[in-house]
Amino acid sequence: MSTLAVVGAQWGDEGKGKVVDVLAAEADLVARFAGGNNAGHTLVVDGVKIVTHLVPSGCTYPGTRCLLGAGMVIDPEVFAEEIAQLRTHGLLAGDELRVSLDAHVIFEFHRELDALREDASTAQTIGTTRRGIGPAYEAKAARRGIRIRDLLRPDRLRERLEHNKRALEPEFARFGSERSVSVDALCEAAARWVEWIGPMTCDAGAEVLEFIGAGKSVLFEGAQGALLDVDHGTYPYVTSSSTIAGGVCTGLGIGPTLIDGVWGITKAYTTRVGAGPFPTKLDGERGDQIRAAGGEYGATTGRPRDCGWLDLPALRLAARRNGLTGLVVTKLDVLAQLPAIEICTRYQDDLDPGRDGFDDAVPVYEPVAGWGGPNWGEQVSNARSLEQLPAGVRAYLDLVSDYVEVPVTLVSVGPGREQTIRLTAAF
Q: Is 306 a catalytic residue?
A: no
233 is in an annotated binding site: no
Nearest by Cα to 254 from 84, 33, 55, 43: 33
Is 150 labelled as part of a ligand binding site?
no
Find how far residue 153's CA is from the centre of its chain: 31
Per annotation, catalytic residue among 21, 28, 41, 229: 41
Instruction: Indicate the burial class of 152 (C-beta count within 10 angstroms; 0-12, 13-18, 19 or more).
Output: middle
How far CA 152 is from CA of 101, 204, 213, 352, in Å, comes to 9, 17, 29, 49
Q: Is 300 annotated as a binding residue?
A: yes
Q: Which of 13, 75, 114, 150 is catalytic?
A: 13
Q: What is the dihedral of CA 59, 70, 13, 406, to 10 degrees?
A: -100
Active-site annotation holds for 165: no
201 is in an annotated binding site: no
Question: Which residue is catalytic, options 89, 140, 163, 216?
Answer: 140
Which of left, alpha, beta for 40 (phi over 0: left; psi -120 to 50: alpha)? Answer: beta
Q: What is the DSSP track for 349-380?
A: GG--HHHH-STT--EEEEE-TT---TTHHHHH
Q: How far is CA 231 from CA 66, 83, 93, 253, in A?
A: 27, 32, 38, 19
Other beta carbons within 10 Å of 55 = 24
The annotation status of 299 as a binding-site residue, yes or no, is yes
How many C-beta neighbours within 10 Å does residue 257 have? 7
Cα within 13 Å of Cα(337), Cβ side: 15
The question of whether 13 is a catalytic residue gets the answer yes
Q: Is 143 annotated as belonging to a binding site?
A: yes
Cβ contacts of residue 168 below 8 Å, gap of 6+?
109, 113, 181
Within 13 A of 98's CA, how many CA atoms are on the CB side? 23
Confirm or deny that 374 is annotated as ligand binding: no
Peptide bond into 279 cis (omega under 30): no
* Residue type, position 19, single letter: V
Q: How far apart are CA 140 and CA 163, in angstroms?
A: 13
Q: Is 38 annotated as a binding residue?
A: yes
Ligand-binding annotation for 333, yes or no, is yes
Tell me whether residue 232 is annotated as binding: no
388 is in an annotated binding site: no
DSSP symbols for 276-314: S--TTB--SHHHHHHHHHHT-B-TTT-PBPEEESEEHHH
Rounded to an integer, what distance in angstroms lies between the CA atom of residue 297 and that of residue 349?
A: 33
Is 239 assigned a ligand-binding role in the annotation? yes
Do the annotations mark residue 302 as ligand-binding?
Answer: yes
Is 13 annotated for ligand binding? yes
Nearest-10 Cα torsion for 144, 145, 147, 149? 0
> Is 305 annotated for ligand binding?
yes
Is 337 annotated to bind a ligand? Reply is no
18 labeled binding residue: yes
Residue 352 counted as an annotated binding residue = no
58 labeled binding residue: no
User: Does the annotation flag 104 for ligand binding?
Assistant: no
- Residue 301 labeled ligand binder: yes
| Binding-site sequence positions for GTP | 12-18, 40-42, 305, 331-333, 412-414
| Binding-site sequence positions for IMP | 13-16, 38-41, 129, 143, 224, 239, 303
| Binding-site sequence positions | 12-18, 38-42, 129, 143, 224, 239, 299-305, 331-333, 412-414
| Binding-site sequence positions for Mg(2+) | 13, 40
| Binding-site sequence positions for substrate | 299-305
Enumerate the active-site residues: 13, 41, 140
